[in-house]
Amino acid sequence: MAAAFAVAASVLILAGCGGDKGEATPPTETVPAETGAPQETAPPTTAPAEATGEPIKVGAISSITGPIPFPESTAAVQAVFDRVNAEGGINGRPLEYLAEDDKADPALAGQASRRLVEEEGVVALVGSASLLECSVNAQYYGEQNILSIQGTGVDPVCFLAPNISPVNTGPYLGITVGLYFASEVLKDEKICAIMFSVAGLDEAVKAAVDRWSQITGKEITFFDISLQPTDDPTPLAIRAKQKGCDAIVHNGLEPHGIAWAKALKTQGLDPAKDVDEISLTSMYTEKLAEELGKAGIDGFYANSEFEPYLGDSPVLDDWRSLMAEAGVPPTSFAEGGYLAATIFVDVLKGIDGEITRESVTQALRALEGYESPLLGTPYSFGDAPTHNPNQASKFVRVEGGKWEVATPDWLILPSS
């Protein structure tokens, strides 16, 4: 997905984990000795008992409230954990989820990590989705030998720290793959990138554009990184028209996407026929498609870091039904939380022996090549100094007020 608001402007801004419930045996008939009359007996139940053992404490630090909240990721983790607990937990031990709200405040993020790690004794962090907590806590996690499966990595440190491995693609790789989609898939020639300026993040954005040039051997036609989240995009839309942009890749959130598409169309750059407009995952929302549909605008592209959540693929069935049951809004952030929780639960089930912070850290360090149909590339944690395992994207396109999948196959960036 104020400085905290601006951070989110570069966000791209997400297999069932429960065991088999078992099937009841059909009713049988018995003949009582006294009467000889047939009588139905109640079918035996094979449903596991709810977990009641010593809790396994798991933490998260997210921007659940604040200027740009991501509440769906931790809510999705809770839904997965609740189902696991109802089905017997991990060897009878329930998962106790402690999700801290940093409200996009670095002081609160730092305090939360100390509370979770030192006071609560969590074994790992799962499903965090914060504007800044990676930058605040990455070094501390290394000192404490605790790992974090990030539900939504946002700031650059989320992808540059040895103790953090996000399940999502991330905004920086998202920029690179958006440019690559424009030049190599859509075959546009004049590629432009217009990005929000965010203190501390501009260099990461520039590096993402540079990576595209290294991969393709092409030069960007127009690159601007001066836009502020509250700015009217019209002046830059005019500049893009003057530069003859065939494609414009930009970041931001849902309101920015609506404003951008309308500004471009007003300047004679209709996304359906004049220019390919490509955004990050943060703009892949039902409301954006509906608003563009009302404005008569088609052709707006967005990157989906996971299997497109508004699509009809059957691989979404378990995620979709669980989110509906738990009352969690179906978003890319909810996919990220579901994936992080699912991976974590499967790792716990594979631990032979006592589950402690040390055994969980060891198991995650050994995790390589975890496959999920919701991901285009396998997830890993491993013992690498940096982690950005999700290297794949699918692209969706607004048509008639709804999102349609534009690339059924995963687009995976080649090595630069």
Q: What's the confidence (pLDDT) of residue 69? A: 86
pLDDT confidence tier of residue 147, bands split at 50, 70 and 90: very high
Distance set, CA 174 to CA 1, 123, 178, 363, 413 (Å): 11, 31, 6, 29, 10
In this predicted model, what pLDDT tens digit does every residue of 260-280 receive, in sequence order?
999 999 999 999 999 999 999
Q: Rounded to an integer, what distance in angstroms lies between the CA atom of residue 200 and that of residue 403?
A: 33
In this predicted model, what pLDDT tens digit does every residue of 71-91 receive, in sequence order?
999 999 999 999 999 999 999
- HEC readout, 259-309: HHHHHHHHCCCCCCCCCEEEECHHHCCHHHHHHHHHCCCCCCEEEECCCCC
Contacts of 73 (CB under 8 A, 6+ apart): 14, 60, 62, 127, 128, 129, 151, 152, 333, 334, 336, 337, 340
Across 67-172, the runs of DSSP E, i.e. the strands, are: 95-101, 125-126, 148-149
Tokens 């605008």 belong to: 297
**Average pLDDT, rounded, for the chain:** 88
In this predicted model, what pLDDT tens digit does every residue of 136-145 receive, in sequence order?
999 999 999 9
Neighbours of 49 (CB within 10 A): 10
Q: Rounded to an integer, what distance in angstroms lies between the CA atom of residue 396 and that of residue 93?
A: 41
Q: Which of 24-38, 237-251, 377-391 has the lowest mean pLDDT?
A: 24-38
Q: Rounded to an integer, what distance in angstroms lies between the CA atom of residue 90 and that of residue 363?
A: 15
Q: Which of 114-118, 124-128, 195-199 has the lowest mean pLDDT?
A: 195-199
pLDDT confidence tier of residue 40, bands split at 50, 70 and 90: very low
Task: Name the DSSP class of 68.
Answer: S
Domains and CATH numbers, the chain: 3-17+49-170+312-385 (3.40.50.2300), 171-304+393-412 (3.40.50.2300)
Comparing 363 with 331, the larger pLDDT belongs to 363
Phi, psi of 60 (to 5 degrees): -160, 150
Neighbours of 72 (CB within 10 A): 27
Nearest CA-CA partner of 103 in 152, 76, 68: 68
Entry pTM: 0.85
Q: What's the confidence (pLDDT) of residue 46? A: 56
Helices (H), 115-249: 133-144, 171-180, 202-216, 234-243
Question: Quick one: tokens of 343?
Answer: 């991976």
Q: Rounded to an integer, what distance in angstroms lies between the CA atom of residue 357 and that of residue 343?
A: 16
The answer to whether 59 and 114 are in contact (CB under 8 A) is: no
Q: Rounded to an integer, what distance in angstroms lies between the CA atom of residue 83 and that of residue 77?
A: 10
The answer to whether 175 and 280 are in contact (CB under 8 A) is: yes
Q: Which of 12-26, 59-73, 250-264, 358-372 has the lowest mean pLDDT?
A: 12-26
Q: Identify the helix (H) or strand (E) that includes residue 126.
A: strand 125-126
Q: State yes or no: pLDDT of 154 exceeds 70.
A: yes
